[in-house]
Amino acid sequence: MKILVFVNHVPDTETKVKIGADGKLIDPAGVNYMLNPYDEFAVEEALKTRQSFGGEVVVVSLGGEANKETLRKALAMGCDKAVLLKDSAVRDSFAVAQSLAEYAKEYGAEIIFGGKQSIDYDDAQVGGLVAELLGWSSVSVVVKLEIKDGNIIAEREIEGGHEIVHAKLPAVIMAQKGLNEPRYPSLKGIMDAKRKPIEEKPASAAEIRVEVSAMRNPPAKASGKIVGTDASAAAELVRLLHEEAKVI
Amino acid sequence: MKILAFAEQRNGQFKKVAFEVVKAAKTVADQLHAEVVALVVGNNITSIAGQLGGYGASKVVVVEDAKLELYSTTAYAKVIADIAKTESAEVLLLPASAMGKDVAPRVAVKLNAGLAVDCTALSVNGGTITATRPVYAGKGLVDVAIKTQTKIFSLRPNVFTAGNPSGATAAIEAKKVGLNDDDFSVAVKEVRQSSGKKDVAEADIIVSGGRGLKGPENFKLIEDLAGSLNAAVGASRAVVDAGWRPHDEQVGQTGKTVSPSLYVAVAISGAVQHLAGMSSSKYIVAINKDKDAPIFTVADYGIVGDAFEVVPALTTEIKKLLGK
Ligand SMILES: Cc1cc2nc3c(=O)[nH]c(=O)nc-3n(C[C@H](O)[C@H](O)[C@H](O)COP(=O)(O)OP(=O)(O)OC[C@H]3O[C@@H](n4cnc5c(N)ncnc54)[C@H](O)[C@@H]3O)c2cc1C
Ligand SMILES: Nc1ncnc2c1ncn2[C@@H]1O[C@H](COP(=O)(O)O)[C@@H](O)[C@H]1O
């Protein structure tokens, strides 16, 4: 099977967001970037799918030179080939999805894995967009997956429960935490990844539909009230929640 | 001009967010001199459609079909896009719920529209809608404008207020959308509700516990407090990773983002990744024995003390207040 996996290169979760000079983007100074955490589940599922059906796993990322670090991590986990769709300009999800979909077609992918969402813009869009652009099935927020005879049975997380979804291949699967336990790259994997080439191609041009006019930090919270230092403060806390905050 | 508001229902009942979306559409429509058309998709739903008039819909389009009883990504996307076209809606509002997030990108492609997801505010300036949305798990906010003719916004649940319904009524219009087997290439076959459990993503009050509770058995304290408040139980990643609690309770950057009216954090230190998921809650209460725990920097009220003593006392006081 020709398996494609999308990985994004994002600021790590510890990042303190400082607004850049243009007032629209994060200031990248001092920020550590990493493989988007949900995409680790996507890579793992792609590798498991290769185990079951054979074939190869190609990992693709759209972005600048720095995304190679994330591609190397995916190679170290066991992906066969890496492709960088190069573009350092700011894109919205739609523009990202268009180029990824074009690449998927060109490669002849039969199944695509991605993460539930990128933890930078928290969009959770790319999977659905790519699937619709390709005319494929898509299942988002997937915590369980079975592939049988060209069909998919997936479980996805919804409010207060799970949905059991049946879908036809080809499909885009967006992974949620819980789908699997991502493997750690082995030492050999890391060494091999250094030698595997990363194919580079310019990302196709795409229209920007959603424009950011300003970015800011959320208003800081005024410091709260310490109601007490032991169980005797419980009554006063309940009074405040009832009379002052009016939430109970 | 028309604004189409997708009113999510499950099992023949509107989700609370459906009213929020219709009301938000009405607020925007008033500033654009536009009209709100609400859309309800499902089976056995005609009887509930009228409720949306009270939130500002002048017309409710009902697409009723036994095959639409359970959600289908592909079929719902087709229905929503078709109705948006026949109504010539230029703006489409959906909830940023599990269903809304899943269907919105597919609708965006069908309508060749720009999509801004998980918005927490919408404002209108000289005929242009600006949406505000959290990025970096709430550590940043961006203002965005959509450039395409058709614009889609999804709204974070629990943020926009629906208020009480007015006495206004809406015209109900039944519509058919032709659907064949191919339109159901992705379809839900079964919904497994976690038994009677409230979900953190929808709850108005959440009581969350962290590693300071020492073991899974002590979550009884959290469950009792949550029970007294009719609240959902949440958890930090530390306790989910330890297997004390299921993943669907995890709040934070790699868990759920929540904005309840009250969030009670018990024995949770308040790591940035946890704060990212809950700092937009309206009121935050922290109970922690360490006065320097970062959770106190976002708390409105705090008790610096031992959770094993404070939480039972709190449960007792709440029961007293609510007469339970
Ligand atoms: C990529 C990544 C993603 C992450 N995503 C998330 C996420 O989504 N959600 C999340 O929560 N975390 C997330 N984390 C983990 C996060 O960094 C913290 O490790 C985690 O939130 C800590 O959980 P905790 O507060 O329960 O535990 P701790 O940090 O160990 O805190 C326990 C607290 O309990 C207090 N305590 C101890 N005993 C008592 C007592 N008897 N009474 C009262 N208080 C007591 C202590 O003072 C302490 O403050 C993520 C981390 C990474 C690297
Ligand atoms: N620039 C990118 N390059 C490759 N994959 C991406 C990119 N952006 C998003 N994705 C994939 O799409 C998923 C959802 O991203 P998003 O819609 O941006 O939240 C991510 O988890 C990735 O798998």
Backbone phi and psi for residue B299, each to the nearest 5 degrees, phi listed first: -80, 140
Give the end-to-end CA distance of chain B in Å, rounded to a whole number.
51
Mean pLDDT of B211-238: 97
Backbone phi and psi for residue B162, each to the nearest 5 degrees, phi listed first: -85, -30
The predicted structure's pLDDT at residue A220: 82
User: Does ligand 1 come within 6 angstroms of the Cβ of A37?
Assistant: yes
Low-confidence stretches of chain A (pLDDT beneath 50): none
Q: How far is A193 from chain B (nearest CA, A)?
A: 27
Strand order in the sheet with B171-174: B114-119, B151-155, B91-95, B2-6, B35-42, B59-64, B171-174
pLDDT at B222 over 80: yes
User: What residues flank ligand 2, with Cβ below 6 Å?
Assistant: A 6-8, 36, 38-39, 42, 61-63, 93, 96, 114-115, 117-118, 121, 123-127
d(CA B236, CA A140): 23
The tens digit of pLDDT for each residue in B32-57 reads 999 999 999 999 999 999 999 999 99
Q: How many Å lie between the centroid of ligand 2 and the Cα of residue A169?
A: 20
Task: List, in order, residues 6 or more apart from A190 with CB less than 8 Å away.
Answer: A76
d(CA B181, CA B75): 9
Instruction: Please list every residue in chain B whose beta carbon sits closer than 8 Å to the beta carbon of residue A123.
Output: 117
Residue nearest to atom 50 of ligand 1 (CA): B273
Q: Which of A163, A212, A217, A243 to mutate to test the interface with B (most CBs of B within 10 A)?
A: A163
**Contact status, residue B162 vs residue B25, Cβ threshold 8 Å:** no
Mean pLDDT of B60-72: 98
**Contact status, residue A45 vs residue A39, Cβ threshold 8 Å:** no
Is A80 at the interface with chain B, CB within 8 A?
A: no
Residue nearest to atom 30 of ligand 1 (CA): B211
Q: How far is A86 from chain B (nearest CA, A)?
A: 23
Q: How many Å lie between the centroid of ligand 2 and the Cα of residue A62?
A: 8
User: Does ligand 1 come within 6 angstroms of the Cβ of B241?
Assistant: no
DSSP assignments along B239-260, one per residue: HHHTTSS-GGGBBSTTSB----
The predicted structure's pLDDT at residue B202: 87
Q: How far is B128 from chain A (nearest CA, A)?
A: 13
Task: List, in order, residues 6 or more apart from A143 with CB less than 8 Å away.
Answer: A155, A156, A157, A162, A176, A177, A178, A179, B247
DSSP assignments along chain A, one per residue: -EEEEE--EEE-TT----B-TTSSSB--TT--EEE-HHHHHHHHHHHHHHHHH-SEEEEEEEE-TTHHHHHHHHHHHT-SEEEEEE--S---HHHHHHHHHHHHHHHT-SEEEEES--TTT----HHHHHHHHHT-EEEEEEEEEEEETTEEEEEEEETTEEEEEEEESSEEEEE-TTS--PPPPPHHHHHHHHHS-EEEEEPPP----EEEEEEEPPPPPPP-EEEESSGGGHHHHHHIIIIIS---
pLDDT at B219 over 90: yes
Mean pLDDT, all residues of chain B: 96
Ligand nearest to the backbone CA of A175: 2
pLDDT at B112 over 90: yes
The predicted structure's pLDDT at residue B254: 87
pLDDT at B324 over 80: no
Burial class of residue A150 in the structure, from the number of CB atoms within 10 Å of its CB (0-12 exposed, 13-18 middle, 19+ buried): exposed
d(CA B11, CA B151): 29
ipTM: 0.94
Instruction: Please list every residue in chain A whose beta carbon sits closer than 8 Å to the beta carbon of residue B74.
Output: 137
Can you read off the two tokens belonging to residue B121?
Answer: 């505010």
Ligand 2 atom at minimum distance from A117 CA: 19
The tens digit of pLDDT for each residue in B143-166 reads 999 999 999 999 999 999 999 999
User: Which helix (H) or strand (E) element contains residue B190?
Assistant: strand B186-193
Dihedral, CA of residue B23, residue B25, residue B30 and residue B34, to nearest 10: -140
User: Does ligand 1 come within 6 angstroms of the Cβ of B309?
Assistant: no
d(CA A105, CA A115): 19
∠ CA A8-A11-A13 to the nearest 5 degrees? Answer: 110
d(CA B173, CA B59): 7
Can you read off the two tokens belonging to residue B2?
Answer: 């028309």
d(CA B101, CA A117): 11
**Contact status, residue B35 vs residue B3, Cβ threshold 8 Å:** yes
How confident is residue B4, by pLDDT bands cut at 50, 70 and 90? very high
A&B contacts, CB < 8 Å: 272
d(CA B80, CA B100): 11
d(CA B263, CA B210): 13
Amino acid symbol at B299: A
**Contact status, residue A5 vs residue A126, Cβ threshold 8 Å:** no
The predicted structure's pLDDT at residue B298: 94
The predicted structure's pLDDT at residue A222: 81
The tens digit of pLDDT for each residue in A164-208 reads 999 999 999 999 999 999 999 999 999 999 999 999 999 999 999
∠ CA A220-A225-A231 to the nearest 5 degrees? Answer: 140
Q: What's the pTM? A: 0.93
